[in-house]
Structure 1
Amino acid sequence: MKHDRAWHQEHRAIILQRMALTRAQLLSANLALHAPRRSTKTGMPAVHVMTSLADTPYLALVLAAGLAAVLVGPRKAIGTVARSGVMAWLTKSARSVFQH
């Protein structure tokens, strides 16, 4: 049986089929990793800015800085941002002290 030519050819064909299947799976996985992703910027740019702002942890501070810069100018906005930042930091620190 070990020297049967048909048996060897059959097993060789099975191994080659497995190798071809594995190669196809590896190629598809590799192509999926390197496939160019479509950008999702198919809308109004203001919407993307607002969604990225909503993801920031200090949204109130960012909005206060923007509002201050618009209303009072950039020079006074720096002071407003600094005060807002210090107040936010103090409030967070006091809250963590009293909760523990």
Structure 2
Amino acid sequence: AYTMGRAAEMLGTTHGFLRAIGEARLITPLRSEGGHRRYSRYQLRIAARARELVDHGTPIEAACRIIILEDQLEEAQRINAEYRRAAESANPTAAT
């Protein structure tokens, strides 16, 4: 896990930006025993996507919502593909 300072440095952003996406509930960083925020690589990828949207003029709240919706869409598509594969396996002649 990365500290807030290291995460902000890696993303080229500020501590305030990381706090804001946390307040928008886009990411929930882990906390050290001392209460300091710690970010995973996955959370940094999400934060980088948020920064990309904000850099292109999207308000931070909207950027967070877009990312959440993108994630939900990706998950729905994955589930749909699994159902489709299961249906094709159960009835291979229906796929043609």
- The two structures share one fold, judged by TM-score above 0.5: no
Higher RCO, 1 vs 2 (CA within 8 Å, ≥6 residues apart)? 2
In which range does the TM-score fall when normalised by the shorter chain?
A: 0.3 to 0.5
Q: In proportion to residue count, which structure has more helix?
A: 1
Rg larger for:
1
